[in-house]
Each structure stands twice: as C-alpha cells, then as structure tokens.
Structure 1
C-alpha cells in the first residue's frame, strides 16, 4: 500500500485547535511535526485514520490534541468516557497519559495498566481530583479488559478509539484482547491506528477495523530517521559483552541504551558492566512495576549511564536527547530494529546506533536490510578479531549408520530380555 508522503511547515495555531489547548503546549512546540500537520486536520474532520510515523515524530500529540479538542467542544457527553487510547506497555501508557495531562487541565484523564493495585485505579475511575469522571482513558489491553469483564468500567459512550503502536499490539499478542475490547464499545466510532511500521498482518487487520480510512505517512514505509548514524560491527558471539564495555569506556557517552533479547541475559550483562566500573542497571518485564519506574526515571535524569533492556523500551518511550543506542543482539523481528534505534535522534536531534553482530545473526540482518531497503555493511571493530566461522548450514554430526543402529538396538533388546528372565524366572 502506497501512502502519500508530504512535507510542509505549519504552526499549531494554524491547525484549528481550540485556543485552550494551543496555549498550554510547551513553548518549544510552536511548529507541528509532519505527522501532526498531516493527522490533526483529518482527526478533527472525523475520519478514520491509518497513520505511519517514525518513533520520535510526535505522534502522541498528532492524535492526542484533536482528541482533547473534540472532548472540550462536545457538549453532548455526560461525563462518561469519550475517547480511549490503547497502548502495548505500561511505560508507554504512563508517558502518553502525562503528555496529554499537560495540555488538558480542564478534563479528567485516567491511565490504566497492569502490575499495580486495581483498587487504586478503580478509585481514579470513579472520581478524579476535579470531581469528575475521566473523559479520556489511556490503557494497556489486559488491564482494561479486566475492568470491562468485571463491569467496573463502561465504554458505551466512546466516540474515538486510538491504537498506538498498533503493530506492537499484534507482535506482543494483544490483538485478541483488542478484539474483545471492541465488543464493549459502539460500532459507530472514529478509529485511529498509528504505527511506525506497516507489516502485511497489520494492514489486513487494520482494514477490518477502519471505515474508509484516510491513509497518511510522515516518512517512507519502514524507514529509519536520517539523523541516526548507524554502525554495525562483526564480532565473535562470545566477545559481545567485552566489546560493549570497551566501546562505552572508550567514548564515555553520557547515556547508553543497550538492547538485548533475553531477560536473564539483561541482568547478567548489567552486573558485568557494574563489575567493570560502569554505572548500569537492567530493565525488563520481570521487574516489579515500582522498580521499573524508578530505574527508568533514574536513566532519564542521567543518574544512570547505561540501561540494559529488552524490547520493553523499544516502542514509544521518549528519553530527551538520548545520544546512543546499542544492539547487543539483533532482534528476530526486523521492524523491532527500526523501533529500537528510533529511541535516539528524536525530535530532530542527532543520534548514534551501534549493532554488535555475530555470524549467527546473518538471517536477522538480511531481514532488516530487506525491510529498510538499505545496504547495512558490517565493519571490523578494532581490538576484536573475528575467529568464529559462518555456519555452512550442514550438521556437524557424522551421518548415522542406520544398520549399525539397528544392530545395537537388537543387542540391547536381547540383553534386557535376558535380564528380565533372570530376575523373574519361569517355573
């Protein structure tokens, strides 16, 4: 599917948003990004939307500002939930909720996610500090569906639905929950899908949810931000941790976000970095919510130099001026690579993305090249000679002698039978 690609400079004051919202935007956000300029008029016009936008392009305000505008100007609602935003992770739910609260002091916004006390969230739903029920809810699918099934929440008044990081909702297995949630809300609604990549599976599912959607793109399909300086180094699999330590010590970056595929591996790597004198910590889904929140806040505040994480933070999480992202492991899913390195070079800043690649990741690298349409060449890393050999694809085990195997089996069977006769003699 070919989406229109446009570029133009426009101020938020030119996008027909109500003055109350524009006046509360941070001072540095006077000019809309491409996705904001393209999406806001379409959302205000009431159209369903399929929007492609890179991470860090400002898509939260691209859908969030017109949602708030619609709620402010809608005199027909009765204090019930008018808009719902579904996101894949609790960290993204918190970030989206906080961003929208900054420009919406006149209305109630509630954020729902798993891993915390349900009773406290239920209290927020029943009555917020403004003595009004929330009109906009940001939620992860699992926790929201839990509230719906227990009839502790109603979506009967929802007029606008946003699926943020829609492809990630599919990858993480949330789509059945999304489909169940849809049964609790009116069919006659405006639906907005935002994603950084557009896989065929998402395209098929999206078309079933959307009604004659407007399709927009702020960049080419599955592309990488041009302000990212990418380097891919070929190293031995067993040298990756040592190479990472050497790079961090050599460059003395103020902040480094390291992606690794396994949760246990994340903990082990963080401990190894700390032992090497590097201020590091691990963050993944097995950590308690409070610990995850404190670790992420410490990293954002530059109190922590290196954060080792799984793909928990590959989507949507904004870290101001993050200079470096390093893939210790290439992801098995090519779109995840785009999201991972998109954590740097956000909002026009420059960034560095480094991947440490071993021969065993050849298929993953090939898939990433195919998706992004770029020739990502592997370089040598000084001080780390590659001694591992590429796999030939052939088994190292010698061919089995099937006849010999049968003879051995026959001998074993005869011995076992004789042993049984000795143990249980016949009369």
Structure 2
C-alpha cells in the first residue's frame, strides 16, 4: 500500500524521504486507526517503522487542530531515542513545533525551548523521557492539560526499566479524554494488564507473531567459557572484518574494560553507556552512525529503538537478564527489510537467561562450538557452595554483648 492511499495530507507526503514509497505492515495497520481517533495497542518488531506509524497521523492531527498548545506527547525510555523520534517527526511538517525533554541536558535550556516553541504560535508536540518530564511537571514548568494524543513508544522497555510508576504519575497531568497509542516490540503479561487499564476500547494490531524476532536476522549462539568471552569477541571481529559491530554488555564498567581490550588488539572501538556525558554520548553515536567506528560497546542504552543504517552485526557478549531485551538488542540489525547477523556468546552460568529467552520467543536455541575455544567450564550443579551454617554458632554470636567480645584476648606470659 502506498502512503498516498492512507489519507495523509499533501505536505506530509511531500516531506517523506525519497526512498519511501510503500507503507510497512505496522504503518498500514496503525495509521487508519489513529486517524480515526481510536486508542491503539500496536505490536511491531524493532525496525518495522513504528515512528512513522504514530508520527504521520499525529502530525496530521496537529496540523488540522492548529492550536499553539502542547497537544501531542510521546514518551520514550532514553534520550537517544527521544532525539531520534523528534528529528524524524519534525521533518514531516514545518507547521508544528517539536521539543525534546530528557535528562542529561540543562533544564533551563529545555524550559527556554518550550517557551520559544510556544511563541511560534504553532501546534506543539513534546517528545520526552519519563524522569525529566515528571520533574518539569512537578515544578509546574509546563502544562499537559491540552494534550489530545499520547504515545508510549517502546512500552515494554519503559516497564522493564522501571519507568512505569513515573508514567502513571505523568498520566495524572494528562486529560482522560486523550487518545492513547501504545507501541511495543514485545507484550509480556504484565504489560498487557497495564494496557487493558490504560486504553479505552483499543484497536489491537500486530505486524508479527507476539514476541517474535525479525526473520531476516541470522542468529548464532556459541557456548564459550566465561573467561574467554573477550578473546572470542576479538577473534570474531578480526576474522570476519565486519564493517561495523554493535556489542552489548550488561555493566557500564565492563563496557569500558572491554573497549580497552579491543583497542589494544588494534580494533577501532569505543564505549557508550549512561555514565558518559551527554555530549560525549552524542558524538560517539554520531561517529558510529557515520561509519567512523568499527565496534561500539554499549549497555542496553542502545537496545531501545535506536536506528543505525545497514548495521550488519550485533553481538551479545552477555545475554540480558530480561528476555524482552534480547529481542530489542538483536533488532538493531536487519532493519527496514535488510539482512543481519546476531551472535551471542553464552556461558554455562547464563542457562536461566537463555531459558527465559526461549520461553518468550517460543523457540529452542542450539548452542554451537566456536572454533579455537574449547569449553572447559562445567555446568552449575545448582547446589550451594557455602558450607552448612552452624546454627548454634549463630546463636552464640547473637548472645555477644558488643564487638569487643569477638576480639581474641592476647595471651599472657609469666616470667620465670
């Protein structure tokens, strides 16, 4: 289906990228429902065009209303995604003012941006992360009383990252009569329950099977020793000479340590995580998108909706502890119909995480051997390595009156 068949206005159609002709499945399903004013629960894989699925009809509604208040609100989990969504939407029409509100940026500057947007006398749309938006609302720095359309983008990640309490507080500042659109790549039972209470007789659309992975991704899972993972990653990068690789790791400190090892091995690499300064994060991501970095090591900061053109390879140095995150991580490759490779380096200690991913995606993975990396670690027996507790000793310790009672007395010696 062509975009011209979706009842979108001429201005929006003329501002679409030249390489876009036909709507994706989620866009074909979502856009008519949004234009009809329906609440929406949309399930779509990462890279399927979700931003246009809600952005195009939102912009059209804002243009038609032609008010200069904040009537559109998009809530996303990270500042990188907030900036990406805002940039995409702002290009669709010169008739609207788009403002980004997120952490890591001076609040005074963001308040000034809001005031400047209001002075333009254009319909306003705000793209925000939950923490900063709630902060500004509590300071009465903005009003959401005129919001008519609310989007929760990457809703499963908003919940998984612990933002849902903030989202619920934000909703108390938004009119109940709003139109609510919830977009997610996965739909766990908890999120489904929240959606039932949040949405009013929603249209439910799905561009794929629930919790599925893009079919254009070739997945490989290798069983390796925990201590061999960094060496295995270096060997894979050097052997395959991929143009770009996005590597996911769970801890910020480990991201920096791994990056140092990659650089020492002669690989052009950098790290990106939440402890980096905002400007540094923007520059690193910009360098990677421009192809100036071969390997980017990141925490789950970049698993949430970030688009990188033609990214060929994603590698999980560690499996995520949350199963839906696996779907988001590998969804950074094979976007917009392209092919991609997703590799996971798995050790015996990650068996529970692997089982959770298999249960969510309803697939059974085969762990392969990686040439040159013999597995010597043994699976955990599940038995505790700690010696049985001496309950009597515990009771004796509890009867001590102070810390002095635990200090051994020096032996005394008599002179003869």
1:14 is aligned to 5
Q: Are the counterparts in 2 of residues 245 and 276 from structure 1 also a CA contact under 8 Å?
A: yes
Q: Does 1:45 align with 2:15?
A: no
| 1:379 alignment partner, SS class | strand
The 1:345/1:407 distance shift into structure 2, 3 A limit, reads: closer
1:274 is aligned to 263
| 1:229 alignment partner, SS class | strand
- Give TM-score, length-normalised by structure 2: 0.94
1:30 is aligned to 21
Cα offset, 1:395, TM superposition: 2.5
The 1:57/1:397 distance shift into structure 2, 3 A limit, reads: same
**Which residue of 102, 107, 110 maps to 1:113?**
102
CA distance in 2: counterparts of 1:24 and 1:418, whole angstroms: 77
Cα offset, 1:419, TM superposition: 7.8
Cα deviation code 1:179-227 (max 9, x no counterpart): 1111111110100000000011111111111001111100000000000
Q: Does 1:243 align with 2:210?
A: no
Q: Are the counterparts in 2 of residues 108 and 130 from structure 1 also a CA contact under 8 Å?
A: no
- Give TM-score, length-normalised by structure 1: 0.91
| 1:128 alignment partner, SS class | helix
Q: Does 1:372 align with 2:370?
A: no
Cα offset, 1:127, TM superposition: 1.3
CA distance in 2: counterparts of 1:418 and 1:220, whole angstroms: 64
**Runs of 5+ consecutive residues of structure 2 not aligned to the other structure:** none
Cα offset, 1:38, TM superposition: 0.2
Q: Are the counterparts in 2 of residues 254 and 305 from structure 1 also a CA contact under 8 Å?
A: yes
Q: Are the counterparts in 1 of residues 323 and 360 from structure 2 also a CA contact under 8 Å?
A: yes
The 1:398/1:34 distance shift into structure 2, 3 A limit, reads: same
2:314 is aligned to 325
What's the C-alpha RMSD, in Å, of the aligned pairs? 2.4
Q: How many residues align?
A: 409
Cα offset, 1:80, TM superposition: 0.3
Segments of 4+ in structure 1 off by > 3 A? Answer: 396-403, 405-410, 415-420
2:151 is aligned to 162
Cα offset, 1:132, TM superposition: 3.1
CA distance in 1: counterparts of 2:162 and 2:395, whole angstroms: 49
CA distance in 1: counterparts of 2:233 and 2:119, whole angstroms: 49
| 1:31 alignment partner, SS class | coil
**Which residue of 99, 113, 130 maps to 1:141?**
130
Q: Which moved more, 1:104-113 or 1:216-225?
A: 104-113
1:217 is aligned to 206
1:100 is aligned to 89
Q: Are the counterparts in 2 of residues 125 and 134 from structure 1 also a CA contact under 8 Å?
A: no
CA distance in 1: counterparts of 2:407 and 2:295, whole angstroms: 65
**Runs of 5+ consecutive residues of structure 1 not aligned to the other structure:** 1-9
| 1:347 alignment partner, SS class | coil
Q: Are the counterparts in 2 of residues 148 and 154 from structure 1 also a CA contact under 8 Å?
A: yes
1:385 is aligned to 374
